[in-house]
Structure 1
């Protein structure tokens, strides 16, 4: 009989296993931060728009230095009004073809190219600045999702533990060793955690939407699990980071390009005090008439403007000078902002690293021991249920703070990389006489 029922047992087993297998198949793969950043840099529409703008200004460089089109002239000169189509009535009637070309004063074309090139260079570095900003936003969202996922995992674990506490409190109450209030208190705490879980799940979904927007992928796309990590070693000094920012930060290069544009514009404005030349040539064809042999004629000439409007040209020079002064001031302000930002972020990162070490080596192990001791004491009626619950909530808060510190450290590192203009994944060697560069956290 049992052999005949074996196929039925097998079918039931497959039916029970199938949903779990299907769930695993549809579960998104763990996320890779480098791949997410690369995808954002390749697909983000705002970055594509900025790149197209840069290309647009690049194409203006040759336009700025190009000569104006030559002018072709066709005319009839000295025609007789009473007989307009008779070119042999008067010996001075001529059919004229001419060409003229405007030539700016020496150096103006090159300076116009320099102005356009500096402007395009500024937009180029604006694109690089946008890339840094986009990378920072992806990394921040990535680590916010990491912190949210860890909080949800801790919540699920604590809800299960509270269920055990509720069972324990009910057992003690049933034998007259506990208070019914303990059960209600535990149920209330469980409901508060469920409320927190709903908020965190909504927060996780909002972060998914934000990340999908940055990557320009469908909003329904699911973000996979984010693996645990250890804090990387960090040995950069503020002085080293300032040097890196001076060489790498696109914002500084954008301002420098603006200064160069102002300088080239000032030289161009000064050149406006010199005239531009218009060279022309005309060929005049004549017919024999009135005793004239009808010899053809030509005309060659040069015309130029008289740059006597000094006020306009002085204003052009003043405008370019102000642009250079503005750029110098913006460069100094940007350097001050970067310097203060570096020191502030280093202080925050140092605080988070110390907290991670403290939670790993001290607070969390001690809180776990305290909770274990409270559970044992509660079983033998040496502490009340409120003490047991308080120890559980305390450990719960410390575990969340640990993961929050881990994620915040990485977010501050992403902000620091955006501030100095380059990745800081590998720390420079620390001098032997220097202090320790930091401690890697190992709590998983």
Structure 2
């Protein structure tokens, strides 16, 4: 009965997941595929089903014994000749022994099930970790693409400045600043909204007021210096600005190819967990999203005590040895046997000896047997063994609980660190975006250098990549907590 219930619960678990989470780009979809196809997980499940078959074996009574004997020469007895004997004996263990044996095997089967659960949760963690790693690589690829668009727009601006007359570098610096938005369109980076673009424009206006005045003073001051062409050449930079942008684009192309190579190997590893072809296509969401997760230490630790497979396995092991101890005590008591003996008797001819009515009648004799457990040392040793193993299982539970508690506290700290990094890199990304737009405005106005723009662009990309990696780490740490809780949650 217990076997059927547990098996049906597992089937319902898989069916419910397939029905609710059927999207091809859903993590739960791939978890379901892994649960159905992974051969290592299937081995553990088959071992669990095999352990269920031991329960009826442990609760079975011994097979009956049939003894048959034939006399080569019929034995003369009073009122007949004994030809053959048949004995049938059935032994029964002491009351409660079979129930204790079934309980022991049921707890052993529960241990096997918890081992299967642990294997399943470890597999789910591997799938989740590979999933978030793939999403991180995909997001980094998107971030590099966004920065390539920024550099392409910047290259267009640099080409326009290179093609313009040199004398416009000073006299029309204010006009270049005013017409920059008309000549160059800078898309928002990293999924920034129009509100961010508005903030950047407002910031540019507020900050550019002083640089314009200082730029005018500088131009005025340089007009008094012998030869003003140095400022013009320094502001425009000539064709070297375009070449430096091309160098940066080449660096991005190289990083893009490296990430594509990493995606190929990560996809193969992910498909291996699902027992699929290495080149099977993995459908990923467009952007990586930070999972919503709240931490309550008391409730988390209590959930770990209730649900973690390692603790449940230790509990089942202690219960199995407790049942074995009860069985060992009853094994030290007598076994009772009930049987029949049937004797085949032929008639004896009257040879001067009188016969009775019993002449030639077969005999049926009920029998009762009893084993005598006389040698007690082995029974005492069995009971002591079970007690010691039960105590060892209790200590194993406490040791596992201590390890899981320490692991949870460590993982909780990792989660807090990942959250701090996400917040920091998001703030830095926004500041880098505003700084980049200001640097482009200064470059267009002739008061900034292309080196400053490229430095800020590299910082902007770096913060994007770090934020994506921090989000992937945060979600992976959540998967670690779910592994401790044996509770799978996805978006």
Query: Match for 2:407 among 334, 341, 344?
Result: 341
C-alpha distance 68-235 of structure 1, shift in aligned 2 (>3 A): same
- Give the unaligned 5+ runs of structure 2: 1-22, 167-232
Instruction: Work out whether 1:411 is the aligned partner of 2:470.
Output: no
CA contact (8 A) 1:88 1:287 kept: no
Question: 1:286 maps to what in 2?
Answer: 345
CA contact (8 A) 1:275 1:306 kept: yes
Question: 1:138 maps to what in 2?
Answer: 127
Question: 1:321 maps to what in 2?
Answer: 387
Question: 1:207 maps to what in 2?
Answer: 266
Q: TM-score, normalised by structure 1?
A: 0.79
C-alpha distance 409-148 of structure 1, shift in aligned 2 (>3 A): same
* Counterpart mapping for 1:349-364 below 5 A: 349-360=415-426, 362-364=427-429
Question: 1:371 maps to what in 2?
Answer: 436
CA contact (8 A) 2:28 2:490 kept: no
Counterpart-to-counterpart distance in 1, 2:76 and 2:373: 44
C-alpha distance 304-187 of structure 1, shift in aligned 2 (>3 A): farther
C-alpha distance 322-306 of structure 1, shift in aligned 2 (>3 A): same
* Counterpart mapping for 1:15-34 below 5 A: 31-34=25-28
> Per-residue deviation at 1:109?
0.9
Question: 2:201 maps to what in 1?
Answer: none
> Per-residue deviation at 1:396?
0.4
Question: 2:194 maps to what in 1?
Answer: none
CA contact (8 A) 2:139 2:287 kept: no
Question: 2:84 maps to what in 1?
Answer: 95
Instruction: Work out whether 1:69 is the aligned partner of 2:69.
Output: no
CA contact (8 A) 1:238 1:342 kept: no
Question: 1:59 maps to what in 2?
Answer: 53
Question: 2:466 maps to what in 1?
Answer: 401
Q: Which moved more, 1:187-196 or 1:117-126?
A: 187-196
Instruction: Work out whether 1:389 is the aligned partner of 2:439.
Output: no
CA contact (8 A) 1:378 1:384 kept: yes
CA contact (8 A) 1:128 1:250 kept: yes
CA contact (8 A) 2:135 2:288 kept: no
Counterpart-to-counterpart distance in 1, 2:438 and 2:469: 27
Counterpart-to-counterpart distance in 2, 1:340 and 1:424: 22
Cα deviation, 1:199-242, whole Å, max 9, x if unaligned, reads 22122122222322233333332011314365454333111101
Q: TM-score, normalised by structure 2?
A: 0.72
Cα deviation, 1:271-315, whole Å, max 9, x if unaligned, reads 232222333321001112364622322344333433233332233
Question: 2:32 maps to what in 1?
Answer: 38
Counterpart-to-counterpart distance in 2, 1:206 and 1:31: 19
Instruction: Work out whether 1:249 is the aligned partner of 2:311.
Output: no
Instruction: Work out whether 1:121 is the aligned partner of 2:110.
Output: yes
Counterpart-to-counterpart distance in 2, 1:185 and 1:271: 88
Q: Which moved more, 1:269-278 or 1:322-331?
A: 269-278
Counterpart-to-counterpart distance in 2, 1:313 and 1:180: 96
Counterpart-to-counterpart distance in 1, 2:414 and 2:42: 34
- Give the unaligned 5+ runs of structure 1: 1-28, 81-86, 427-444
Query: Match for 1:152 among 133, 141, 148?
Result: 141
User: Between Structure 1 and Structure 2, whose CA radius of gyration is higher?
Assistant: 2
Q: Secondary structure at the match of 1:93?
A: strand
> Per-residue deviation at 1:380?
4.5
> Per-residue deviation at 1:340?
1.8
C-alpha distance 227-161 of structure 1, shift in aligned 2 (>3 A): closer
CA contact (8 A) 2:82 2:343 kept: no
Counterpart-to-counterpart distance in 2, 1:352 and 1:283: 83
Q: Secondary structure at the match of 2:368?
A: strand
Counterpart-to-counterpart distance in 2, 1:163 and 1:74: 101
Counterpart-to-counterpart distance in 2, 1:225 and 1:295: 89
> Per-residue deviation at 1:381?
4.7
Counterpart-to-counterpart distance in 1, 2:265 and 2:472: 17
Counterpart-to-counterpart distance in 2, 1:299 and 1:88: 18
